[in-house]
Amino acid sequence: MDVVQKFLWFIVAISVLVAAHEYGHFIAARKLGFKVLRFSIGFGRPLLSWRGGPPDHIQYWVSMIPLGGYVKMLDEHEGPVVSEDRHRAFHQRPVWQRVVVLLAGPVFNFLFAILAFWLMFISGVQVPKPVIGAVEPGSVVAAAGVLPGDEIDTVAGKPTPTLESATLTIIAELVGDGVVDFTVRRADGSTRSVEIDARGRAEELTVPGVLFTGLGFQPGPPPAAAVIGAVNASSPAERAGLEAGDRVIRGNGSPIDNWDEWAEFTRGRPGETVDITVLRDDRELTLTATLDSVTEGGKTLGRIGASGVGNRFPTIEQRYGVLESLPRAVEKTWEQISFTVSIVTNMVTGDVSLKNMSGPLSIADIAGDAAEMGFAYFLSVLAAVSISLGILNLLPIPLLDGGQIVYQLAEAVKGAPLSERAMLLGQQIGIFFVIALTGFAFYNDIVRLFGS
C-alpha cells in the first residue's frame, strides 16, 4: 500500500475516533443542560456545515484540517453571555457536571473500543499463536531448554492462546518484578516450566522490536524442513535430478535438519561439486550437483536453483457468537486499558523505554497495513488507538481533558474559580507539554520508519 493510501486510512481512523471522543462530550453536555454551540470534526474553516433545530440551533461542521475536533459550549470566558442563558454556560454548571462532561470523551473512546472488538470477534480474525520459531544458542531460553516449535502455554500462570496475549503478559512481568515465569508445550503435548530473570532490563527490553531478540528467541514457525518446493529450469538442481517434494537430509555426508542449514550449505560452496542425500518416497537417494557461483553484495555465494516449501506462521481464529463476543470485547478492552496505563506509568518513572511513544506517522503506517489485511484487523487497530487516545486525554496536562478535570476539582476544593493568572500559566505549561510530546512522538516515528 502506497503512502497516499496509508494517509487516507489514517484520516479515516482519526476522524472516526475523534468523532467518538467528541460525541461523548457532546451528548453528556446536552443531557446535563449545557448549551452547545458547535460540534466540529476537524479544525479550521468548515467544508460542510448545517444547523440543528430548536431550541439551540447547534452548528455541525466538518472542517478543513481532519486531525482533531471539538465541542464548543457557551462560556463566559470566551465572550458575552445573555442573562437568560447564563445558567447554561460551562463555568456556571455544577463542578460535578463539568467533570462528567470532560470524562465523557475518554469514556466514549473506551466504549468505541468495546464496539470495535465486538464487531471484530463477530466477523472473526486470524491471530498468530505464541509459537517459538528460533532460539538463539547460548541465550537464557536456550539454557532453560526451550526448543524451536515449542508453544508458550501460560505466562505467570495466565493462559496465552495468542502471540499478543503472551507478549503483553511478558511485558507486564518485566515491568513488575522482572522475573518471567512461563510454560511451553512441546509437539508431543508435554510441558516445561521456564523462568527468565530479566530484573533491571525492563527499559532495554521494552524498546520496540527488541523484546524477543533480547530474551533470545523469535516467534514464528520453527525452521522449515529442507523440502524442495520447485526446481528452476537449467539449474544445478535440475541437472542433478532434484525434484519437488525431495527432502534433503544430508550434504556431503553431514546432517541437514532444516532449510536454513540447507541454504547455508549451498551458499558456502560456490562452484563446488557436492553430494546431496534426499528422501524421495521413503527411499534415500544420493545425487551429485555442481553449484553455480554468484556475487551478491560483494560476496561470492553458491546457488543450486531450488526453492523450498516453507512454513506458515501458526494461527488461531477468534470468532464468537453475537452474545459471547460482548463480554470478550469488554475483557479485551479492560486488558488493553490496564496494560496501556501500566506502560504509561512506567514510562514516566523511566522503567519503560520512551521509544514506545508513537505519533501520526506510525499510526498511519499501522492503519494502512491493517486496512490491507482486512476489516477485522482494521477494527483491532481502531480499538487499540481509541484506548490510547482515551488514556492520553486523561493525563493531568492542561489543554487535555485530564488537565481540565484537575482545574474543576481545584475549584471545588478552593470554593471559587482559579485566577486568570493560574489558568494562563496552566495553559502555557500545557502547550509546552503537548508540543514536547508531539515532537518526541514524531521523532520516534521517523527513527522507527526510516531507521536510526
Active site amino acids: 22
Q: How far is CA 261 from CA 123, 169, 236, 253, 258, in A?
A: 40, 33, 18, 13, 6
Angle of the 163-174 helix axis to the 322-349 helix axis, nearest 10? 30
> Phi/psi class of residue 95: alpha, beta or left (left: φ > 0; alpha: ψ in -120 to 50)?
alpha
Angle of the 401-414 helix axis to the 95-123 helix axis, nearest 10? 150
Specify whether the CB–CB gap between 304 and 271 falls below 8 A.
no
Task: Tell me 56's DSSP state.
Answer: T
For 205-336, list the strands marked E by DSSP: 217-219, 228-231, 247-251, 254-255, 273-280, 283-290, 292-296, 299-303, 306-308, 315-318
Q: How far apart are CA 109 and CA 104, in angstroms?
A: 9
Q: How far apart are CA 388 and CA 439, in angstroms?
A: 17
**Which phi and psi angles does 32 have, rounded to 5°?**
-95, 0
Of 216, 232, 226, the C-alpha closest to 266 is 226
For 148-224, list the strands marked E by DSSP: 151-155, 158-159, 179-185, 191-197, 217-219
**Which phi and psi angles does 147 have, rounded to 5°?**
-120, 155
Joined together, the cell numbers standing for residue 403 give 488537565
